[in-house]
Amino acid sequence: MKSSDDNAAMNEPRAVEARQAHGRAGTSPILVTGGTGTLGRLVVPRLRDAGCTVRVLSRRSREAGEGIEFVTGDLATGEGIDAAVEGAEIIVHCAGSSKGDEDKALNLVRAASRAGARHLVYISVVGADRIPVVSRVDRVMFGYFGSKLAAERAVADSGLPWTTLRATQFHDIVLLVAQQMAKLPVIPLPKGLRVQPVDAGEVADRLAELALGTPAGLAPDIAGPKVYDAAELLRGYLRATHRRRPIIPIVLPGKAARAMLGGANLAPDRAVGRRTWEEFLAERVSASSLRQSDHSSSLVPP
């Protein structure tokens, strides 16, 4: 069995950076908000394996694990956040939802400033700065991007040392959307929409590395290895789950949609991800398709 020293040695240079970044603080925990989510729960073990004590913020109480403590709080209301940030010199902000991320970021930033955090790390989305959310139509369909930009600004204007990483869509969210869409007898899909899905594990690697390094401001984007037509991704999912559905191209109105269709959500020059959608799908869909077909057989006529 490996000692913790052996493990730390295997994780060089991240462990070295961890010690540099927060070693002087000794046992100061790293706070991971959203540490129970798709991305956050991959970030947590990477930080722990680099020799850090990790504190996870969740809205629900949970059992502590080895090297991981949980605190309960809600970033939308601010409840419990002062206690969550207390003593945490590094904060990795992975909590998010489809709406209101700017308010969550502001509540976190205020508490982190009061507590004197030394490094605030944020995960945002590619296109946050390029997808204009101006009209009501933009807000209804793409308000998420506007919220992410506002949250980025809250972090950058916090006065705290910060790092923000923008990522493209994770494979997991593409799969989730495909699963939902496949429940429809006919699938409407924005004509010309392209996606560059990235592996959440690879984003977690990068985020943990950034968290343990020195504050970097806006880091270079992280994007998946390939740009796909959204219809191609969906067809891949339908084929893998042995379904047939007609896909009807639809035209989306508004400036945000125009920017999306122009590729503002893509970062082809930052296609640094390695795991492809096909690889992800091959591993994930056999189990999920069984669950889906059980579930969807009652919803979708054959």
Which residues sit at the interface with ligand NAP, rule CB under 6 A? 33-34, 36-40, 57-60, 74-76, 94-97, 104, 123, 125, 167, 169-170, 173
What the block records as the tokens of 122 is 């944020």
What the block records as the tokens of 32 is 């991971």
Shortest CB 103 distance to ligand NAP, Å: 9
Shortest CB 76 distance to ligand NAP, Å: 4
Shortest CB 144 distance to ligand NAP, Å: 7
Rounded to whole angstroms, how far apart are CA atoms 300 and 130?
Answer: 37
Nearer to ligand NAP, 76 or 240 (CB): 76
Nearer to ligand NAP, 11 or 169 (CB): 169
Shortest CB 264 distance to ligand NAP, Å: 14
Shortest CB 97 distance to ligand NAP, Å: 5
Nearer to ligand NAP, 41 or 235 (CB): 41
Shortest CB 84 distance to ligand NAP, Å: 9
Shortest CB 61 distance to ligand NAP, Å: 10
Nearer to ligand NAP, 15 or 158 (CB): 158
What the block records as the tokens of 171 is 């494979």
Nearer to ligand NAP, 60 or 244 (CB): 60
Nearer to ligand NAP, 59 or 243 (CB): 59
Nearer to ligand NAP, 79 or 229 (CB): 79
68-72 vs 162-167, strand pairing mode: unpaired
Position of minimal CB gap to ligand NAP = 37
Task: Measure CA of the first residue to CA of the last residue in the chain; give whole Å.
Answer: 52
Shortest CB 152 distance to ligand NAP, Å: 11
C-beta of residue 106 within 8 angstroms of C-beta of residue 47: no
Nearer to ligand NAP, 2 or 60 (CB): 60
Rounded to whole angstroms, how far apart are CA atoms 37 and 43?
Answer: 10
C-beta of residue 121 within 8 angstroms of C-beta of residue 163: yes
Rounded to whole angstroms, how far apart are CA atoms 280 and 171?
Answer: 7
DSSP 302: -
